[in-house]
Amino acid sequence: MNSIERLAFRLLGPYAGKKRDKYADLRNSLLTARMKVPFEVYLSTAYFVSGIVGILSALVLGLFTWILNIPGMFQYQGAVPEFIFSLSQYSLIIGTVLAVIISFAVIGGGTFVVYLLYPGFVSGNRKRNIDANLPYAINYITAMSTAGIPPAEIFRQLGNSPIYGQAATEARFIALEIDLYGKDLTDALRLVSSTTPSYRMKEFLQGSMGCISSGSNLTDYFRTKAEQYALENRQTQKLFLETLGLIAESYVTAMVAGPLFLIILQSIMSILSNQSQPIFLYIIIYLVIPFGSIMFVILISSMTPET
């Protein structure tokens, strides 16, 4: 733990410990993300940092509101109740107080929400990385099993191979349960399969556990799963390429041909109507095309498989 986490846990640790049931999803996300931070420490840090950020932002925005007299910049034209009119002389004080309260609630609350969502984001990235590397990791496992290496040593060697990404991390946790906590291979597989974010990894570990418990041929199981995941990987890549082609056609239609037609049409209409400020043309050039292109980039990035 760093100094901030230690201070936050010292101040808010007992309170955060009472929230274990309320934030069960956060606890599961911390486990599946393999974040090396206990739940009480992480939640107390979220409370502490959110409060500090909210207070600092509230003070800064309140100070700007007071110095610049932002409430005085707004004038209401119309009838108002008498008691509201009588409060107009205190508009600076009331506006500053509202700015402080709103900024604390929005910025502090937003920081806390980011803390709550971050482990889930990390867990989702790990899931995609595991699914992408699992077929190659199983091929590696199959080769070692064919050579007669014991199952526990297979997972230990896989954990020491960083080229397999987060799949190697899961194998490293299996080896850790065996070497450090003295559990047998079946219990280690059961524990890691219950906390991995990848359904494919969970299925593979549970199948391995079943083969070990029943005394089946583990090498044949590894070979079968390697062929299955290799086939699924090829099908996934084929589907991605087909979807990518569809997105490319949509991009050409929506972001190239469509805006070009609208720009030509709006330019002709502006010339015919002697319009000096073609607002619609500016919207297309400076808003629709850039933001539309960014959205296509985000879409493609979100659906691109891990390499």
Question: In the chain, what are the domain boundaries?
Answer: 3-125, 127-230, 231-303
Q: Decide: residue 292, CB within 10 A, 0-12 exposed, 13-18 middle, 19+ buried.
A: middle
pTM exceeds 0.85: no
CB atoms within 10 A of CB 193: 20
What pLDDT is stored for residue 173 in this prediction? 92
What pLDDT is stored for residue 88 in this prediction? 59
Task: Using 70 as the pLDDT threshold, list the residues of the chain that sit under it.
Answer: 1, 70-91, 276, 305-307
What pLDDT is stored for residue 56 in this prediction? 93
Q: Which two tokens stand for residue 269?
A: 């209409």
Closest CA to 99 of 144, 119, 69: 69
Closest CA to 133 of 164, 155, 163: 164
By percentage, how much of the chain surpasses pLDDT 70?
A: 91
What pLDDT is stored for residue 77 in this prediction? 54
What pLDDT is stored for residue 122 in this prediction? 92
